[in-house]
Amino acid sequence: MTSGAVAPQQIPFCGTPTAPFICYAPSLIRDAYNFPSSLDGTGQTILIVDAFGSPTIESDLAAFDSLFGIPAPPSFTILCPEDGCPPYDPNDPHGQAGWAFETSLDVEYAHAMAPGANIVLVVGSTSSGNAVNSAEAAAIKRYPGSIMSQSFGIPEIIVRANRFQLNQAEKNYSAAQAAGITVLAAAGDGGATNGYSTANALFPASDPLVTAVGGTQGDPYPGGLAGCDPTSETCTGTYGGEEVWNEAVFGAATGGAPSLLFPVPSYQSGLTLNESPLTARTTPDISYNAAVNGGVLVYISFLGPAYTGFWIVGGTSAGSPQWASIFALVNQCRASHSKGPLGFANPAIYTLAGSSAYGADFHDITVGNNHLVGTPVGFTAVPGWDAASGWGTPNVAPLVPDLAGCSCP
């Protein structure tokens, strides 16, 4: 997650007249990716997992909804550890302020894209040890059939021989699969190497039972933003185009690389990287807007009155909760035909992307790379699946019924 304290002046432009940024309200993202108006996630539950949480998330979500005209979620639950959610300490060495930003982004945008879904914020007591795994284990037991989003990770290259925490996470993902839960994770913001000397994926996005969400940037509206109306916060026209997210000015690029830990899963069998067959689980599976100059507007107040308001936020952590919302729409569609939740999504994604529906359901990203400035390697986007953008970004209206396997309301 990358953020900046640049308040909106007139959406979709933010910042100052001499240093303008592009910033997206929820309605603009919905327009860009063609979210259907007939589905809102009703009856579904999205789990947002974060360490520490945010002390002001309930009031911040209410303010966010009010400012953008979004109805409150049917329910918003904060699932704390058994001994309670940790008190906010801005001086905590684990970076509680950063986690509070992440919480705000995840909750606000999962809700904005599926306003009819129930939101559960799953809070880990800390970001270290097994705290997050323990929180997820409790949530998986309590909310079968839900969708779980994780906007965090660790570079595989620094995973040590003692894999206790990784093994516990894998146990959770197996339990989630058995419970019909769709699990997603951000692919990372450190390019193909995560800032190290060799390509490596980010865990948990690299786990074969997790759907890894990479990042894009660009201009999804034709003719630039000339067709956008700041007063109504809408843009006219159809989808324009994106490329791999790689903003050197911010020192950030989408993650995506072969795993150092996991072999090739069956759903990636037959794919190639640099014209050679895959030799390991490789991320990402799918992508979503992650640009900072072109970021989403997140409302926060936990830093006090002087910093209360909107911040522009980008990164692959913006994509994971919004893809979770798309799966909430998929499950709503399935429920309308008395079908159970989709659950583990990767087999369905890869089967669909390998079919004739691919061109209608996804925006194939064929421009750009995730070679982070200052690092030795990256991967280039090509037609179809690639290690920089996966299968690409969603065209939500046709994608949802195709993933659901049925017609939608």
The predicted structure's pLDDT at residue 385: 98
Contacts of 186 (CB under 8 A, 6+ apart): 150, 151, 152, 153, 202, 205, 212, 213, 255, 315, 316, 317, 319, 320
Name 282's bridge partners. 258
User: Which domains occur in the chain, in start order?
Assistant: 2-404 (3.40.50.200)
The predicted structure's pLDDT at residue 224: 46
Residue 153 in 3-state DSSP?
A: coil
Angle at CA of residue 182, ends 178 and 188, nearest 5°: 125
Secondary structure tally for the chain: helices H, strands E: 9, 24
The predicted structure's pLDDT at residue 4: 41
Segments of the chain scoring below 70 in pLDDT: 1-13, 15-20, 161-162, 219-239
For 160-204, give the DSSP string.
-S--HHHHHHHHHHHHHHHTT-EEEEE--SBGGGTTSSS--PEET
The predicted structure's pLDDT at residue 146: 98
Residue 406 burial (CB < 10 Å; 0-12/13-18/19+)? Answer: middle
The predicted structure's pLDDT at residue 337: 97
Sign of CA dihedral 168, 174, 180, 184: positive
Torsion angles phi and psi, residue 297, rounded to 5: -95, 120
The predicted structure's pLDDT at residue 90: 78
The predicted structure's pLDDT at residue 62: 98
As a whole number of angstroms, the distance between CA 203 and CA 12 comes to 34
The predicted structure's pLDDT at residue 16: 59
Rounded (to 5) percent helix, strand, coil in the chain: 30, 25, 45
Cβ–Cβ under 8 Å, residues 22 and 225: yes
Q: Which two tokens stand for residue 74?
A: 């049917």
Three-class SS of 231-292: CCCEECCCCCCEEECEEHHHCEECCCCECCCCCCCHHHCCCEECCEECCCCECCCEEEECCC
Q: Which two tokens stand for residue 5?
A: 């304290």
| pTM confidence score | 0.94
Q: How far apart are the first and last CA of the chain?
A: 35
The predicted structure's pLDDT at residue 17: 59
The predicted structure's pLDDT at residue 95: 86
Tens of pLDDT, residues 100-147: 999 999 999 999 999 999 999 999 998 988 999 999 999 999 999 999
Cβ–Cβ under 8 Å, residues 150 and 176: no
Q: Which two tokens stand for residue 305?
A: 């009155």
As a whole number of angstroms, the distance between CA 50 and CA 4 comes to 20
Q: Which two tokens stand for residue 138?
A: 């409790």
The predicted structure's pLDDT at residue 232: 56
Q: Which two tokens stand for residue 22?
A: 């592009």
